[in-house]
Amino acid sequence: MSLLTSYEPSATESDRIKVWYRFVPREGWLPQDTEGLWATRLSEDTAKVENAPFLQDGVAEGEIVRFVTDADGLHWSQERVEASGNCTVRVLPVPSGPLGRSARAVHERLAPFGLGGEVFSEEFPLVAVTVPADADLGGIKALLARGQEEGWWYFEVSCVTEAWRNA
């Protein structure tokens, strides 16, 4: 089963591609084993990732990746060529918590840090967030921890930098 993300970058139509990732689904998590991320083609075999992943770990928006194109025309990620310095965080509101199943409430809590994100679906309000390299990493980490402690959400960090680890 594959997942298509809904974000479309503002590149020209011919430069817009999907770069696909294949992984082993986590037990107790979503059943998908692939995820396609929007990207802007930079060369015959490189592209810049243009959105935050919901499922794939170790990649963040803004990274440059190398891909191979298969016989069906799908572009499969092979390696990261250049890191963006950004981090990827996923936030899932606790249905029985004070935010309910509201992705909007998650966005409202993250907005003071200038963070936005994409929502997986209304039925599964997982929010994938890009944390820019120059963001208030310590403040964001504190908010995420506080929200989890107070039952607002669960969160995971799927792509981190040294700056994030040290904040």
Q: Domain of 138: which CATH number? A: 3.30.70
pLDDT at 13 (0 to 100): 59
> Which ranges of the chain would DSSP assign to H, the alpha helix?
103-110, 137-149, 162-166
Judged against a pLDDT cut of 80, whether residue 2 lies above it is answered with: no
**Residue whose tokens read 């402690």:** 149
Q: What is the domain extent for residue 133?
A: 87-166
- Please tell me whether residues 11 and 64 are part of one structural domain: yes
Q: Where a domain ends, among 49, 65, 82? A: 82
pLDDT at 25 (0 to 100): 79
Most distant CA pair in the chain: distance in Å? Answer: 49
- Please tell me whether residues 91 and 162 are part of one structural domain: yes
Two tokens at 125?
Answer: 């309000």
- Please tell me whether residues 111 and 145 are part of one structural domain: yes
CB atoms within 10 A of CB 138: 12
Mean pLDDT on 110-115:
96
User: pTM surpassing 0.85?
Assistant: yes
Judged against a pLDDT cut of 60, whether residue 3 lies above it is answered with: no
Mean pLDDT score across all residues of the chain = 91
Mean pLDDT on 122-150:
96
Q: Where a domain ends, among 82, 97, 122? A: 82
- Confidence grade of residue 12 (pLDDT, cut at 50, 70, 90): low
**Residue whose tokens read 């298509």:** 4
Strand ranges (DSSP E) for 11-131? 16-22, 34-41, 46-49, 64-69, 75-82, 87-93, 118-119, 127-131
pLDDT tens, residue by residue, 49-97: 999 999 999 999 999 999 999 999 999 999 999 999 999 999 999 999 9
pLDDT at 6 (0 to 100): 42
Identity of the residue numbered 15: D
Two tokens at 86?
Answer: 């950004």
Write 46-49 long-range contacts (CB < 8 A, 24+).
Answer: 46/81, 47/17, 47/19, 47/75, 49/19, 49/84
Mean pLDDT on 18-40:
89
pLDDT at 16 (0 to 100): 93
Question: What percentage of residues in the chain have a pLDDT greater than 90?
Answer: 83
